Amino acid sequence: MTDEATKAADALGAAMHARDADAIRAIYADEVIVWHGSTGQSQTKDENAGLLAGVFQITSRLEYADIQRHLIDGGIVQQHRLVGAFDNGEPLPDLNACLVIKVRDGQITRIDEYFDGATYTPVWERLAKLAAAN
């Protein structure tokens, strides 16, 4: 599981850095569930890839920094800071997060994501404006 979970986590990080929603979809198993601790809500593959596509539209740079990983049965726990910039160059607020990532057959089958949602208020506001414009 070590190589499989690490490769999946690396691929997720690379897709976030590339701001590539199609790459996210390819990493996710069809039945993936992404649960967000900040809202208590779960998302399907398309819902989460759609949310991330919106984030990619309003940013010019994203990356995981200060990554720490711990192998668990069936996956990996990853702590990181998500850093980057909005499309106008303004820095994103640093988001300290913890992901519990479950992997099967090289694809991510579940993510439980923990972070303080209030930290990301400027992102949510920009996503709301993007949605209203569409």
Condensed to tens digits (0 to 9), the pLDDT of residues 53-68 reads: 999 999 999 999 999 9
pLDDT at 94 over 70: yes
What would the mean pLDDT of 95-105 be, rounded to a whole number?
96
Domain ranges of the chain: 2-127
What would the mean pLDDT of 99-109 be, rounded to a whole number?
97
What pTM did the predictor assign? 0.91
Burial 115-124 (b: 16+ CB within 10 A, else e): beeebbeebe
DSSP class of residue 19 equals T
d(CA 130, CA 38): 21
As assigned by CATH, the class of the 2-127 domain is alpha beta
According to DSSP, the residues that pair with 44 across neighbouring strands are: none
d(CA 72, CA 2): 9
Residues 9-29 have pLDDT tens digits of 999 999 999 999 999 999 999
d(CA 130, CA 134): 6
How are beta strands 28-36 and 107-114 bridged, if at all?
parallel
35: which residues sit within 8 A by CB, 6+ positions away? 41, 42, 43, 110, 111, 112, 113
26: which residues sit within 8 A by CB, 6+ positions away? none
